Every structure is written in structure tokens, then in C-alpha cells.
Amino acid sequence: MTSEERSKSKAKRFLTPAEYFDLMSALKERLKSSDASAVYGIPRGGLPISIYLSHHLGIDFIFSLHDLFKRGLKDKGPIIVVDDLVDTGLQMKSTMGFVECYKFEFITASLLVKPWSTFKPDFYIRKEEDWIVFPYEGEPE
């Protein structure tokens, strides 16, 4: 059974904006002591979280991974790579495989992780089996 089939077999759960904010706030608290210098959000779900973390942790926002060298961030501290949900783990693995060539220190983070994911981020809030619909993806029918 694929990850999508597993998720679809579970209840579809719509996160409210308040729940979403609470998850971002909890992730911010966990990352406070990380000494990160910047944050990159995996498009699309990681982008709003990376903007939030940039503002609330007082760190640089990286729009493109190619900006890492242009911004002079080498040796300034780890870079957070964040996504809203790690499902199969393939997206995060792919991103981390791409950034390995940069020789920076990276921290991975996500709001939610599926229990069957093959990738476990360094920081996450909770495991979630339901099919999650984030506030920016749609509203309950």
C-alpha cells in the first residue's frame, strides 16, 4: 500500500488556522536552542513555516538553496530545512541529497510526520496518521 493510499484510508482532517499556528509555535520553541543561522522551506508547504521561523527566531530566510553562498552563511550556524509534513520521506531525502554538496550543517524539521515515513526529521511536533489538510490547501466541504 502506498503512502497516499494509507493516508486516504484514514480520516481526512482539516487543521484550523489556530491549530496550524500552534504547531508552528511549538516547532519554533523546539528550534530556539538550535543556533541556526537561516531557514529554507521546501516548496510549497514549508514556505509559510520558514517565513514564520525566520521572523520569530530572528534568522535569515533562504528563498533558494542557491542563495546559501551568495548570502555568506558558511560557518555561521546550521541551516534549518523545514516542511509542513513528512509523509513518505522522499521529498526530504531528495532535498537533503541535493544540499549535501553545499557542505553546510543542516537541521531538518517538520510540523508532522507520518509513522511510515522513511525519513525522521531532527525536529518535529507529532506523528499523524490522518490525511491532513492544511488551512492553505482547502476548507471542509
**Which DSSP string do the residues of 20-87 spell out, in sequence order?**
HHHHHHHHHHHHGGG---EEEEPTTTHHHHHHHHHHHHT-EEESSTTHHHHTT-TTS--EEEEEEEES
Phi, psi of 26 (to 5 degrees): -65, -40
* Close Cβ partners of 25 (under 8 Å, ≥ 6 residues apart): none
Low-confidence ranges of the chain (pLDDT < 70): 1-9, 69-75, 141
CB 44 within 8 A of CB 5: no
Specify the pLDDT at position 74: 65
Residue 67: domain span: 3-29+36-133
Cβ contact 35:78 at 8 Å: yes
The size of the chain, in residues, is 141
| Position 43 in a domain | yes
For residue 65, the model assigns a pLDDT of 72
pLDDT of residue 120: 97
* pLDDT of the residue at 70: 67
What is the pLDDT at residue 82?
A: 98
Number of domains within the chain: 1
pLDDT of residue 9: 59
Please indicate, yes or no, if residue 138 is contained in any of the structural domains: no
Quick one: which H or E segment has residue 125?
strand 123-127
Interatomic CA distance for residues 126 and 67, integer angstroms: 30
Whether 55 is in a domain gets the answer yes
- pLDDT value, residue 76: 78
Q: What is the reported pLDDT for 73?
A: 66
Report yes or no on 141 lying in a domain: no
In a domain, 102, yes or no: yes
Residue 140 domain-assigned (yes or no): no
Q: What is the CATH number of the domain that holds 115?
A: 3.40.50.2020
Q: Are 58 and 67 in contact (CB under 8 A)?
A: no
The pLDDT, as a whole number, for residue 97 is: 87
Q: Residue 61's pLDDT is what? A: 93
Residue 100 confidence (pLDDT): 79
